[in-house]
């Protein structure tokens, strides 16, 4: 496995560009947003989403709504893909919406990447990027096999509204956000906004808010020695027990064990997803 960081500064005025995949890959979207058209359909990817690369596929990327994105991409050997197992269809989904099972490891990998590049000297992670990448890929196969995404055909204006709403939610993750608040930002009724957001991004607004909080919490757990209670409140959870329960459900381990894993205790995740 090899891991690379990609930063794109293209904006709404840039022409769409095509990319070809010669192998399997997973690109975790750390920030920003972009659209992607491939054989599986058209996807709007926001922070926490995953672009799934399949050999021989062409991916046409656009930036219709906002400028730029940053991704952490994992390129897998055929031997690793075979060892991971899972269904063939899992690698042909095109993209995965923000899933808590993937975001927590994606943020751990991003913290390690920042540390290895010298831009994140506060990171305590002792795991190599290749190690975290294998954990991430294993969790992807485990999570996405059997999951399907309903096809949708929203207009370009609808997609823009959904993406801009997701960016607004991500900017305000630490405060209470009701469905009506997000719908008002999009200029839609709550009913129509809920249907639109879910159709474009594959998750509901509340799910995206919760997963944004988990994503930021995962990063804080890997980056600093902030007390777990403080992290819970900082990212918007009303009480510690709810945070611990929600994080454990997403990561498969408690926040404290996740912090230990980010500092080199790889066995914690090996046991969780069955890697040797």
Largest CA distance in the chain: 50
- Write b or e for each residue in 129-141: b if 16 or more Cβ atoms lie within 10 A of its Cβ, otherwise e: bebbbbbbbbbbb
Q: In 3-state terms, what secondary structure has residue 35?
A: strand
- Do strands 69-76 and 24-32 pair parallel, antiparallel, or not at all (unpaired)? antiparallel
User: Tens digit of pLDDT for each residue in 171-185?
Assistant: 999 998 988 899 999
Percentage with pLDDT > 90 across the chain: 50
Give the mean pLDDT of 145-157.
Answer: 69
Strand ranges across the sheet with 34-38: 17-20, 58-62, 34-38, 41-45
User: Tens digit of pLDDT for each residue in 118-130?
Assistant: 443 344 445 567 7
Query: Does the structure show a pLDDT above 80 at 266?
Result: no
Q: Report residue 152's pLDDT band, with 50, 70 and 90 as the boundaries.
A: low
Please tell me the predicted confidence (pLDDT) of residue 124.
43
Q: For residues 235 and 100, is the Cβ–Cβ distance under 8 A? A: no
């Amino acid at each position: 496995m090899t891991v690379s960081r990609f930063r794109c500064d293209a904006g709404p005025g840039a022409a769409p560009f095509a990319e070809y995949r010669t192998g399997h890959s997973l690109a975790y979207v750390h920030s920003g947003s972009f659209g992607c058209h491939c054989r599986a359909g058209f996807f709007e990817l926001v922070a926490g989403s995953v672009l799934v690369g399949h050999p021989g596929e062409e991916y046409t990327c656009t930036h219709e709504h906002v400028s730029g994105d940053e991704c952490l991409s994992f390129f897998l050997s055929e031997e690793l893909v075979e060892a991971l197992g899972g269904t063939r269809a899992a690698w042909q989904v095109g993209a995965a919406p923000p899933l808590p099972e993937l975001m927590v490891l994606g943020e751990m990998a991003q913290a390690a990447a920042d540390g290895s590049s010298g831009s994140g000297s506060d990171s305590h992670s002792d795991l190599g990027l290749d190690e975290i990448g294998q954990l991430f890929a294993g969790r992807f196969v485990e999570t996405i096999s059997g999951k399907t995404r309903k096809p949708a055909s929203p207009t370009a204006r609808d997609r823009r509204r959904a993406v801009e709403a997701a960016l607004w939610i991500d900017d305000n993750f630490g405060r209470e956000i009701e469905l009506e608040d997000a719908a008002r930002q999009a200029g839609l009724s709550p009913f129509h906004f809920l249907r639109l957001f879910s159709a474009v991004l594959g998750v509901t607004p509340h799910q995206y808010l919760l997963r944004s909080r988990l994503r930021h919490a995962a990063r804080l757990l890997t980056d600093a020695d902030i007390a777990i209670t403080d992290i819970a409140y900082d990212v918007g959870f009303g009480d510690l027990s709810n945070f611990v329960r929600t994080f454990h459900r997403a990561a498969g381990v408690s926040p404290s064990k996740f912090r230990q894993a980010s500092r080199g205790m790889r066995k914690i995740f090996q046991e969780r997803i069955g890697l040797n």
